[in-house]
Structure 1
Amino acid sequence: MVMGTHIARLVRMPNPSLFLALTVLLSSSLVVVHSAGDPKEIEPLLTFRDSFTDPSALSNWNASINPCTGEAANWIGVLCSENGKVLGLQLENMGLSGVVNIEILDPLEDLRTISLMNNNFEGKIPEMKKLSRLQALFLSNNHFSGEIPDDTFEGMKSLRKVFLANNIFSGKIPSSLTKLPKLAILKLEGNGFSGPVPEFTGNELKMVNLANNQLEGPIPKSLSKMADHFFSGNKNLCGPPLKECANLSPPPPGSPPTFPPTPLTPIIKKSSTCLQIALIVVSVALVLVILLFLFFLLRRRREYKTWEEEAFVVESYKPPPSPSVEVEKKAPQPTPAPHVKRTELIFLKDDVQRFDLQDLLKASAEILGSGNFGASYKAMIGKGEVVVVKNYKQMNNLGKEEFNEHMRRLGRLNHQNLHPLLAYYYRKEEKLLVTSFMVDGSLASHLHANRSRDNPGLDWSTRLNIIKGVIKGLNYLYNQLPTIVVPHGHLKSSNVLLGKNFEPLLCDYALRSLINQDQAHKMMTAYKSPEYAKTGHISRKTDVWCLGILILEILTGRFPENYLTTSYDRNMNLATWVNKMVKDKKISDVFDTEMKGAKNCKGEMINVLNIGLSCCNEDSEARPELKEVLKEIEGLKGGDDDDDDSSSTIGEVNVSISRGHKHSKMKGDPSSFDR
């Protein structure tokens, strides 16, 4: 449970929950209006949240605050329209589970998009029919199962995007899904659907992905021009764009071929010569038809092979002028994945495989997430080269020449704890940054994802090595970028990737000068520091504060509230909570109880805790210099030198707090934990 849950409960019983804090634009205003909200929206949302088993990610869903202030969202995971109404819910990658009572959201008249992707929901598909105004539904990568009733999507005339991929659905594809008039993108791959593929009647259909199911029979004409990989993994499917279906009832041996009646029929009867001529004419015509069909097939295949997966985009919706106007008539066209003019990528490293922008755009792509500044895609290039492409649309703070120079500067950086930038593309409206794909994901996912046999969590030794690597990488940035105020500027657990042997790699560093300043002030972690809240300024010590929060997050396993808020709040600060626990002599409750390998390392853990707290001093001048932090962390001897009791556990760490504390000599190190 993240910090701030108890405060939320004082206002209202429901608990919060975590969302990829990094994928929602939190606010377009620094001021959150604390006023009584509209009960027509607040009550359904809080009831919806309470249906989750552990909603600890939605920590700021509070009955006393409006979900929206204009287009600015005050609640995590909420997307807002111009008139301050809830336009969408983007609750992805939050470890959510439990019952999904989507019908509860029916009173939200402006709701157009729901995404619950990458969570742990189980059971039958939610009741959808009541949300007839919905335009996009994203339920991929969960554990939904069972057959989908035929009438599940009946009456949803505005629905354009349906993502149900990688669940455990079975049975036939529901007929109501095939009759949606506005359906443009449908993703059903990675399930257990069986039976024939039905005909789709919509006129706006662009992509239907049915790969890796148990479907059989001929592919209907409405889907015959889709790319063939949309149907792969179904052993008994046939027909264009796959191989032709076998003739199930061949004519008896010796039976003469039959031809449809044509004007040539009487001529054929007259002579064998005419018959030969007719056969030649028909053969030539048939060849021309086949060539023409192949031409259009290849053309369509090139079209659909491009970025198949779209970012989580809420189409610009404006409320209808009156209830009598049908919403679907106002529905705008879907926003495609990044599309740019043909030009070359600019590579910053010499030892990487070269590819051009068209290779990138034609590659099979997978959406990884939608962050504060844009969407991220995983793309496979050439022979197994996997890259990540981040699309930025809030990066216009510098002109083209300054931007290019800054990119070259970042390209020259080289350190074992930095994730290198491989290439970039410049366009006035948007920028693409290309990096390599890291299989093990981010530190945030390892700290906060649900534990399992395959993901047992990080042990103490690994966490300590990650902290050391982060500090070394940050120190390198400080040395190589002396003119930049905050060399990283956006340090948090989701911007620490894990490489081989869990080696930490900092990413999204040194981008502050590129980001539009009004966006940077609202979204970047550096601007959520105490000094910015008090003075409106940041300094190099701001990165140190972010480092301190990160260290405490690694030690406690708690998700820091400052990742979710739009500004600094001392009462919601992780360091405040740690200090309170120390003051109340509850040290054993500070450290992550799921952390293994900590039994004989009490002194070491206390020293690291001291370092983290020192970095989190609200007075930036009292914080240690980064080089002091590096010296202190490298000076740790390891183990529990001053305690020979090898049977000690985390619950007994509090007996060593004073001794562990004496080891620190850094400027700003607290003289006691009672601050």
Structure 2
Amino acid sequence: MAPMPAPAVALAVLVLLSAVPGYFSDDLNTDAQALQALRSAVGKSALPSWNSSTPTCNWQGVTCESGRVTELRLPGAGLMGTLPSNVLGNLSALRTLSLRYNALTGPIPDDLSRLPELRAIYFQHNSFSGEVPASVFTLKNLVRLDLAGNKFSGEISPDFNKLNRLGTLFLDGNSFTGEIPKLDLPTLSQFNVSYNKLNGSIPRSLRKMPKDSFLGTGLCGGPLGLCPGETALTPAGSPEVQPAGGGAADAGGASSGTKKKLSGGAIAGIAIGCVFGVLLLLALIFLLCRKKSSSSTPATAVEKGRDLQMAPMDMEPKGQNGSAGNGAHVGAVAAAAAAAKTGGATGGSKKLIFFGPMAAAPPFDLEDLLRASAEVLGKGAFGTAYKAVMESGSAVAVKRLKDVDLPEPEFRERIAAIGAVQHELVVPLRAYYFSKDEKLLVYDYMSMGSLSALLHGNRASGRTPLDWETRSAIALAAARGVAHIHSTGPTASHGNIKSSNVLLTKNYEARVSDHGLPTLVGPSFSPTRVSGYRAPEVTDIRRVSQKADVYSFGVLLLELLTGKAPTHAVVNEEGLDLPRWVQSVVREEWTAEVFDQELLRYQNVEEEMVQLLQLAIDCSAQHPDRRPSMSEVAARIDEIRRSSLGDRPATDSAGEGEEPSL
């Protein structure tokens, strides 16, 4: 038989290879097709660089090695919708998959099982739901799995034991139920199942993990303390410890074999004796309590009656001039304090706990707060704020928290971190009160109210315009205040930056307020209003990153420049939020349409206004990595102000303004 010509051999080889499944699918073109299918499903407007005019390996979030896509990192990219099936599985060389801080929903697709090289999955802070699919447990090379802050449900599968290389497993902030299975993962060093609907005893293999790994659950054991019926000598699940000396010779030299077991009669006698002893003890306690109750003094009874009568006082809120307000309950602070004093709110220390320099010599106590007159300042997502005026004439702001169900030790730990922030540009937390039914926070009272009221309040013809110098000074002080909060730790954040949380002294100097409050609420907390300040990657307000703070601050800068309130659903007839509306105008040309009409009268600062506008746009970038840090933001605002003020140093409001109200 004559040999086949070379071209024919080559053609035959190609035909044979093309019949082998997946041979030609494992190339960059197939990776690109899979990425385009992903973009069509969940990121049509979020990934403009993913187009045929740009090489695949230069696309946003894509990393290649040896002509294959090995990493896909799209944190906070604005992805929305459900991940399609049979798409990600085609990226067969993928080692890292990061889709955290997006708005992805539905289940995890099953085709992840076709990614044998996958080592890290970052799916935290989306809205994935359902159970963790079996495909995940086939990823033998998986080292890090982060599914925190989603809506996963069902029981935690024991199949996690199949991932014997797993070093990190984060499942916190979901809706998992049942008990934690026995997990025998020799390399596991990071683990978290906090804020799930779990119960039962923590497995022995996980009791080395810190307490923070199990908060907000019904679990017990290990770092959470003993389970019911569990003792230090007989841990749950372990053999009972024999009585001391049960297997050794006694002092007289007799062997343990001479010791007899107790007879049934002896055991019955001991049990009956114990019952009578307990009953006698209870009777004595009851008699002592009755005696103490009957001997209470008339003065105590009068004092209790007076406290109970405090709640109905000042039922109508008063304005600054003392006139009746809108009918909200103003006596709530007094009622809360009265309930605390009379024992109506169980648990807690029954006193105010102070921070900072006031801790050594508190200027007032719970009794003073009880007697204070109060008026409503406003209602927010985390509670209602009141102005309380003491009998001495000094005023404080009191926030009555809602939706806080933390146990006292955890509340105390988190509130201590908030109270530790003492800075001249941050409204300090002066004190707090904790009980089962009431949680009160006490701050300095700021007489000029909030930036929101100043910007969006009365805009009648008699209003004094808010000039450029005042607005830029407010921006600088607020930026420095937030930057200081960030400087206290790598994960420290404000968590709720908006114009109503920038308060003003009588000289219009800005102070940042209400930092850290999102850390006090539970996983079920949901604000009643959608905030126009929230970064697109934030799906859980309890976990707001510093970059998300920067986004919120960028919206605040846009609010200062445009005079538009971002808390409305839309700011114009096109249905755009404030950052996107500004960007749509800027894309056309730099136009006066963006700026607040009150700013347009200052003709000599147009360049500085444009520079601040560009900074606001940089801060409100959709991708977190493209936003500057808060320290950089403060430095750029300072530089802009210096140029607008003729190179003289911009006024630093630190340490200036009205005296503290306490």
Normalising by structure 1, report the TM-score.
0.43
Which structure has the greater CA radius of gyration? Answer: 2
